[in-house]
Chains A and B, each alone.
Chain A
Amino acid sequence: MIKKKISIAMALMLVVLSACSQSEGNKVNTPSSSTEEETTHQTDESEQPSDPFGKYSETITLTYGKAVDPSDKSLPAGDTPEKNQYSRHILDNLNVDTKVIWQAASGTNYDQKVNLAISSSDLPDALVVKDTQLRKMVKSGQLEDLTDIFDKYASPAMKNFMAKTNGQSDKSVTFDGKMYAIPSIQVQSDGVHEMWIRKDWLDKLGLTPPKTIEELEKVAAAFVEQDPDGNGKKDTIGIAGQQNGGRLYTNFLESTNNTFGLDPIFGAFKSYPGFWLENESGDPVYGSILPETKEALGKLRDLYAKGLIDKEIGIRKSAYEPVTGGKAGIFFAPWWMGYGPLPDAIKNDPSANWQAYLLPLDADGQFNSRMGAPSTSFVVVRKGYEHPEAVIKMLNLLVRDEAKFDISVPVGYYPLRVPMSYTDESEYSAKALKEVLAGTKKPEDFTDPGYKLLAADIQNVKKVKKEPYDNMDIQHWDPQADTGTWSRIYSLLVGSSPLEQNYNKVYSVLYSQTKTMESRWSNLKKLEDETFMKIIMGAAPLDQFDKFVSDWKKQGGDKITEEVKAYNQ
């Protein structure tokens, strides 16, 4: 009898418990539904016509999904990715209260979260998305048409940036004549991959920066064989490679910011895998299936077999490690390495003198660089959001005030932040800084406010750059003075300066997906990634390339090429 009573009591408890948890669930739900009501109440609030920085008379709410860098620890105590100096700036200036609905680590995690939001049609008011996601959302009718609103509210500065891309940015967000997103406008230097090399190692071994592939091989061999770090062990890497999940080279869909890929080596063979090129007759061809790519792969395979490329290319968990640990001598990446990994590298070894060059050159003595799309991320607004112009105002504000922000907290915490600037900002700024340092020009000579960070850069440059001003070696810098400033100025003076030279810019004829690609591309790409890595690492013969080409064509490549052709006409 007692047993029975106890078990009944337990059963009752379970029921009570589950009821409790249910009511808790209800509680969680209530606030969000009430905010929805609030926002709908405010719809009819009329406002002053089209002031790009107009402040709302009553606080409006904007929800969004946020990509965060989980390793970042710059937020002061009490601040969160949702509430920080940037969100307060927006609240103070525009009276827009930004709310983070969900957050995810930037990169794949964030992309997945966005994909889930799209597939479930459970969207926040605004989001930053990629090209493929933008297309999906447009096709699904999930987005607000921004054509008129952008025209009315975008600040002149923002329209200027757009104008400088020769219509490329417009094209990327226009579908059937309607504008569905605000594109990022990135510096073109994000897509140019340079050779970063340990100049102190070169000096120690009596070498010069390698100009050709042959010289590159010699230098890499010296870095591997001759113990440049002087620890008595043969533990150095000639050429560093991408990490697991990284890219061997950029491609037309992800055309910028490929750290540790090998793009310039392909470029030296006039090979541009992953890009859509034009052949002699003007028809589009896919760069990965051309004979030049086979030649480049053959060379890479050879370099790998000789141990000159990182043995763990594509497998390593973090490609940063060998660079920050002082084990790698050469890597390929864009101009902004001063932001990372170099700060850690010089922290570990203050003499690590990383310099950037537009090398190696091709057989004709030219540096060939693939160029990125000017717009790779897009701010979109959910269909039916009551204040779509608020998003544009927020971006206006970002463009206007970016130079004034205290960047000890990265500007990535600005809600819905996408990069916006003139496409030549980094080269232009580097040149300006050098002219000011040399005394040939004065700070007042640079008046275009569109180069929004330049005034601050000029003011700060002497904090971190020591004399002589024309020598960029690491001993003539003072990174400790202000690490944030050092990151920017070093990236500009060392990373962007080489881009003032003439070099061959190669654009992809297409930077987005065609219809068949939606279903076929991931398999073709898998085929490509797998084959190329196997060839380089010696797990498949070089002639596997020919089979790859025929497979690629058969499995949809030919059809896609036709579509690209049609798209281009």
Chain B
Amino acid sequence: MRNTGFTKHYYIMLLPGFIWLLLINIIPMFGIVIAFEDFNPGKGFFHSEWIGLENFEYMFSLNDTAVIFSNTLTIAVMKIAGNLIVPLIFAIMLNELRFAVMKRWIQTVVYLPHFLSWVILSGILLDIFSYTGPVNTLLKLFDIDPVLFFARADLFPFIVVGSDVWKEFGFNTIIYLAALTGINPSLYEAASIDGAARLRRIWHVTLPGLRTTIVLLAVLSLGNVLNAGFDQIFNLYNPMLYSTGDIIDTWVYREGLLNMQYGLATAVGLLKSVISFVLIVVSYALASKFANYRIF
């Protein structure tokens, strides 16, 4: 009884956030009925003609659908992998640094890009990789012909993934660094007494110590498998890059907001949400099994 009294104010504190969630995330969900309607804004949700699964049938008849789903999957999976591995390596390297001041300084610098929006960063990227930009100037020094990066559909996913990892790795490093502090220093001491050199210590002490964290992060990111990053790609792509760069979100944006194909765009968005939902459930089950992670 005493316990309930004590926790009440937590719920009160939670209330504003919950109201926000309700207004912004839960209530608009009723809009998914549009996916099953020939939506007519003048008539609204309740009076538009109900056409069942027609939007979905049309969606699967489009050649685009397979392309955008596979583009999304490719880019998102590469991003997930990159954002797991690069910060891990970086955190371990940082952990091996002995100068505390330098360590903190580096840590601060590398996570700064995380706070820049893609609108700004993509402008910078377009300049850096432009035909007369720094990258091509550099290539020229090695007698390589300038490359028109943003006309090369084959290179685009790598530019997207590379820049995303560059932007986020500093921030993701923090989680690993936190986990690293939890490893008992006496393990390192014991290992070095046993004659283990640095790499051996990383292999036998650091990595096993991080295993749960790695598994947890990997499993939780499953829910993002269909999120390839709208704002990044939208600000970088052009028609030359559609074949590898057009993702579900950019497509839905063009269909729904620009071409007013509300039903179709909602259907695709809904499909994406359903798949993501299944993945999140699966990832939660996996997380609780392998990393003992529980929300409730």
- Restricting to B126-145, which residues have a CB under 8 Å from any CB of A? 126, 130-131
Question: Scoring B residues 43 to 72 as 1 if CB is less than 8 Å from chain A, else 0, what string do you get?
Answer: 110000000000000100011100000000
Task: Tell whether, in the assembled complex, residue A11 and residue B9 are in contact, meaning their CB atoms are under 8 Å apart.
Answer: yes
Residue of B nearest to A123 (CB): B41
Question: Scoring B residues 1 to 37 as 1 if CB is less than 8 Å from chain A, else 0, what string do you get?
Answer: 0000010011011011001000000000000000000
When distances are taken between beta carbons in the complex, the residues of chain A under 8 Å from B41 are: 118-121, 136, 140, 142
How far apart sit A137 and B224, CA to CA, in the bound complex (Å)? Answer: 37
When distances are taken between beta carbons in the complex, the residues of chain B under 8 Å from A108 are: 258
Total residues of chain A contacting the partner, CB 8 A: 48
The one of A17, A111, A522 in contact with B261, judged by C-beta atoms closer than 8 angstroms, is A522
Total residues of chain B contacting the partner, CB 8 A: 41
Question: Scoring A residues 134 to 152 as 1 if CB is less than 8 Å from chain B, else 0, what string do you get?
Answer: 0011011110000000000
Per DSSP, chain B at the interface is: helix
When distances are taken between beta carbons in the complex, the residues of chain B under 8 Å from A14 are: 12-13, 15-16
How far apart sit A534 and B154, CA to CA, in the bound complex (Å)? Answer: 12
B171 at the binding interface (Cβ < 8 Å): no
How far apart sit A523 and B251, CA to CA, in the bound complex (Å)? Answer: 10
When distances are taken between beta carbons in the complex, the residues of chain B under 8 Å from A121 are: 41-42, 44
How far apart sit A353 and B46, CA to CA, in the bound complex (Å)? Answer: 61
Contacts known (A111-B258, A136-B260, A522-B255); A11 close to B148, Cβ less than 8 A? no
Question: Scoring B residues 148 to 168 as 1 if CB is less than 8 Å from chain A, else 0, what string do you get?
Answer: 101111000000000000000
When distances are taken between beta carbons in the complex, the residues of chain B under 8 Å from A539 are: 151-153, 240
B242 at the binding interface (Cβ < 8 Å): yes
When distances are taken between beta carbons in the complex, the residues of chain B under 8 Å from A18 are: 15-16, 19
How far apart sit A18 and B123, CA to CA, in the bound complex (Å)? Answer: 37
Task: Tell whether, in the assembled complex, residue B239 and residue A533 are in contact, meaning their CB atoms are under 8 Å apart.
Answer: yes
How far apart sit A358 and B13, CA to CA, in the bound complex (Å)? Answer: 71
B23 to chain A, nearest CB (A): 11
The one of B6, B62, B243, B261 in contact with A518, judged by C-beta atoms closer than 8 angstroms, is B261
Contacts known (A14-B13, A15-B15, A118-B41); A530 close to B243, Cβ less than 8 A? yes
Residue of B nearest to A121 (CB): B41
How far apart sit A354 and B77, CA to CA, in the bound complex (Å)? Answer: 51
Task: Tell whether, in the assembled complex, residue B259 and residue A522 are in contact, meaning their CB atoms are under 8 Å apart.
Answer: yes
Task: Tell whether, in the assembled complex, residue A315 and residue B42 are in contact, meaning their CB atoms are under 8 Å apart.
Answer: no
- Stretch with Cβ within 8 A of B (4 or more), from A2-10, A53-61, A217-225, A260-268: A2-10
Contacts known (A8-B9, A118-B41); A537 close to B258, Cβ less than 8 A? no
- Restricting to A121-174, which residues have a CB under 8 Å from any CB of B? 121, 132-133, 136-137, 139-142
Task: Tell whether, in the assembled complex, residue A555 and residue B131 are in contact, meaning their CB atoms are under 8 Å apart.
Answer: no
When distances are taken between beta carbons in the complex, the residues of chain B under 8 Å from A120 are: 41
B257 at the binding interface (Cβ < 8 Å): yes
Task: Tell whether, in the assembled complex, residue A115 and residue B260 are in contact, meaning their CB atoms are under 8 Å apart.
Answer: yes
Contacts known (A141-B42, A522-B254); A315 close to B150, Cβ less than 8 A? yes
A529 at the binding interface (Cβ < 8 Å): yes
B288 at the binding interface (Cβ < 8 Å): no
Task: Tell whether, in the assembled complex, residue A530 and residue B240 are in contact, meaning their CB atoms are under 8 Å apart.
Answer: yes
B169 at the binding interface (Cβ < 8 Å): no
B262 at the binding interface (Cβ < 8 Å): yes
The one of A15, A523, A533 in contact with B62, judged by C-beta atoms closer than 8 angstroms, is A523
Task: Tell whether, in the assembled complex, residue B260 and residue A118 are in contact, meaning their CB atoms are under 8 Å apart.
Answer: yes
Question: Scoring A residues 484 to 519 as 1 if CB is less than 8 Å from chain B, else 0, what string do you get?
Answer: 000000000000000000000000000000000011
The one of B40, B43, B58, B152 in contact with A519, judged by C-beta atoms closer than 8 angstroms, is B58
Residue of B nearest to A518 (CB): B261
How far apart sit A121 and B255, CA to CA, in the bound complex (Å)? Answer: 18
When distances are taken between beta carbons in the complex, the residues of chain B under 8 Å from A317 are: 123, 126
B46 to chain A, nearest CB (A): 12
Contacts known (A14-B13, A523-B62, A539-B151); A115 close to B258, Cβ less than 8 A? yes
A408 at the binding interface (Cβ < 8 Å): no
When distances are taken between beta carbons in the complex, the residues of chain A under 8 Å from B42 are: 121, 137, 139-142
The one of A11, A132, A551 in contact with B13, judged by C-beta atoms closer than 8 angstroms, is A11
How far apart sit A11 and B16, CA to CA, in the bound complex (Å)? Answer: 11
Task: Tell whether, in the assembled complex, residue A555 and residue B63 are in contact, meaning their CB atoms are under 8 Å apart.
Answer: yes
Task: Tell whether, in the assembled complex, residue A537 and residue B148 are in contact, meaning their CB atoms are under 8 Å apart.
Answer: yes
How far apart sit A518 and B41, CA to CA, in the bound complex (Å)? Answer: 15
The one of B12, B151, B242 in contact with A526, judged by C-beta atoms closer than 8 angstroms, is B242
Residue of B nearest to A120 (CB): B41
When distances are taken between beta carbons in the complex, the residues of chain B under 8 Å from A521 are: 259
How far apart sit A244 and B240, CA to CA, in the bound complex (Å)? Answer: 10
Contacts known (A4-B6, A315-B151, A522-B261); A245 close to B131, Cβ less than 8 A? no
Closest 4 CB pairs of A and B: A140-B42, A11-B9, A529-B239, A141-B42
29 pairs, CB–CB < 8 Å, chain A vs chain B? A11-B9, A14-B16, A112-B258, A115-B257, A118-B41, A120-B41, A139-B40, A140-B40, A140-B43, A245-B238, A311-B131, A312-B131, A314-B151, A315-B150, A315-B151, A317-B123, A317-B126, A522-B258, A522-B261, A523-B62, A526-B64, A526-B242, A529-B239, A530-B242, A533-B239, A537-B151, A537-B240, A539-B151, A539-B153
Known A12-B12, A529-B239, A530-B239; 19 more pairs at CB < 8 Å: A11-B10, A11-B13, A14-B13, A115-B260, A118-B260, A119-B41, A119-B260, A121-B44, A140-B41, A142-B42, A311-B148, A314-B238, A530-B242, A537-B148, A537-B240, A539-B152, A539-B153, A539-B240, A551-B63
- Give A contacts to B, CB under 8 Å: 4, 7-8, 10-12, 14-15, 17-18, 108, 111-112, 115-116, 118-121, 132-133, 136-137, 139-142, 244-245, 311-312, 314-315, 317, 518-519, 521-523, 526, 529-530, 533-534, 537, 539, 551, 555
